[in-house]
């Protein structure tokens, strides 16, 4: 049977989460990431552990069929691969930063300035589209020290909390790209591999649908049911089951974590009792 080959980061910020996502899809990967290559136990899948920078090229060439990496790397590498799904982890932004003592007047500030970055292609494209002339200093890492040592007037780098910038006397002045981990795919997958990919995507979506959602069960007097239904739309609509206790029903539905407490309060006010809230592992819609 044909196997689908997936490339994930060998060691770094996305490694654990990538394996975790496969685990949530019911795919067991033996051996952790010590080896270059391993096989899933219960899914026709081979897992390649690579540096994230190399993943776009391997996927373009078909050495790997699919891969998980930051969108930032996908844009920077400019390989012919398709982004097929955002995965909801590894979120960060690519921003411009300058010394905190400098006054910032908008993007035009950078006209004629030197900017240090590990993402020269993204940066070059951005400024040439704006018609602003900058000099790009490409460096491999520790970009945040470039202004302090006089290599550049500003930097363009990944920011997540901003604390690294502050530690280096910098301030973030503009965000150019928002990024998260994505699934990419080779553009000429065989039909057998496309089928495996679709199975994997189906599982990923079911897992993502369950995130941030809770299953809720409660008992309520029958007169309150119409108002409760308005509060709890559920997947299609809530299930209502009569209780042995006459005049009462049990209501089952799905809730969003975001408006969770607000709804619980409203439900209590409507006379709901015995409210149970249960995590959802997967949700097939």
Question: If contact means CB under 5 to 8 A according to the sort of partner, which of ligand ATP, Zn ion, none does residue 7 touch?
Answer: none
Q: Which residues contact 168 (CB under 8 A, 6 or more apart)?
A: 144, 145, 147, 148
d(CA 59, CA 72): 16
CB closer to Zn ion out of 53 and 245: 53
Q: How many CA atoms lie within 13 A of 174 on its CB side?
A: 15
Q: Which residues contact 31 (CB under 8 A, 6 or more apart)?
A: 38
The single residue listed with the structure tokens 């689908």 is 4
Residue at shortest CB range from ligand ATP: 70
CA dihedral 278, 279, 282, 285 (to 10 degrees): 60
Choosing from 56, 67, 70, 210, the residue that interacts with ligand ATP (CB under 6 A) is 70
Question: If contact means CB under 5 to 8 A according to the sort of partner, which of ligand ATP, Zn ion, none does residue 90 touch?
Answer: ligand ATP
CB closer to ligand ATP out of 89 and 260: 89
Query: Shortest approach of Zn ion to residue 3 CB, angstroms?
Result: 26
CB closer to ligand ATP out of 160 and 195: 160
Residue 25 has a CB neighbour count (10 Å cut-off) of 20
Is 169 a binding residue for ligand ATP by CB under 6 A? The answer is no
CB closer to ligand ATP out of 73 and 153: 73
Question: If contact means CB under 5 to 8 A according to the sort of partner, which of Zn ion, ligand ATP, none does residue 14 touch?
Answer: ligand ATP
Strand partners, 219: 250, 273
**Burial (0-12, 13-18, 19+ Cβ within 10 Å), 285:** exposed
Residues 81-120: x/- map of binding to ligand ATP (CB under 6 A)?
---------x-x----------------------------
Choosing from 18, 117, 147, 179, the residue that interacts with ligand ATP (CB under 6 A) is 179
Q: How many CA atoms lie within 13 A of 142 on its CB side?
A: 5
Q: Considering only residues 3 through 62, tell me which ones interact with ligand ATP, judged by CB under 6 A.
A: 9, 12-14, 51-53
Is 76 a binding residue for Zn ion by CB under 5 A? The answer is no
Is 52 a binding residue for Zn ion by CB under 5 A? The answer is yes
**Cα of 178 vs its chain's centroid, Å:** 11
Residue among 282, 285, 284 at smallest CA distance from 207 = 282
Site residue total, Zn ion (CB under 5 A): 2
Rule CB under 6 A: which residues touch ligand ATP?
Answer: 9, 12-14, 51-53, 70, 72-73, 90, 92, 158, 160, 179
Rule CB under 5 A: which residues touch Zn ion?
Answer: 52-53
């Amino acid at each position: 049977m044909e196997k689908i080959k997936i490339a994930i980061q060998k060691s770094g910020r996305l490694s654990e989460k990538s394996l975790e996502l496969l685990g949530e899809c019911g795919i067991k990967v033996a051996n952790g990431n010590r080896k270059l290559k391993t096989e899933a136990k219960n899914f026709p899948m081979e897992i390649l552990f690579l540096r994230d920078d190399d993943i776009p090229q391997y996927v373009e060439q078909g050495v790997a069929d699919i891969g998980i990496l930051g969108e930032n790397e996908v844009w920077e590498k400019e390989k012919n691969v398709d982004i097929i799904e955002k995965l909801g982890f590894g979120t960060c932004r690519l921003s411009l930063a300058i010394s905190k003592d400098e006054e910032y007047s908008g993007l035009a500030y950078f006209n004629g300035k030197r900017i240090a970055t590990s993402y020269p292609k993204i940066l070059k494209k951005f400024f040439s589209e704006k018609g602003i002339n900058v000099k790009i200093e490409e460096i491999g890492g520790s970009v945040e020290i470039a202004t302090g040592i006089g290599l550049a007037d500003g930097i363009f780098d990944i920011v997540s909390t901003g604390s690294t910038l502050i530690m280096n006397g910098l301030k973030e002045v503009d965000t150019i790209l928002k990024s998260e981990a994505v699934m990419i795919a080779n553009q000429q997958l065989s039909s057998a591999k496309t089928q495996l990919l679709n199975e994997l995507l189906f599982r990923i979506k079911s897992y993502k649908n369950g995130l941030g959602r809770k299953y809720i069960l409660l008992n309520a007097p029958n007169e309150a049911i119409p108002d409760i239904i308005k509060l709890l739309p559920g997947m299609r609509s809530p299930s209502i089951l009569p209780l042995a206790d006459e005049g009462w029903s049990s209501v089952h539905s799905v809730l969003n974590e975001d408006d969770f407490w607000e709804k619980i309060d409203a439900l209590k006010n409507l006379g709901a009792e015995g409210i149970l809230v249960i995590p959802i592992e997967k949700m097939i819609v």
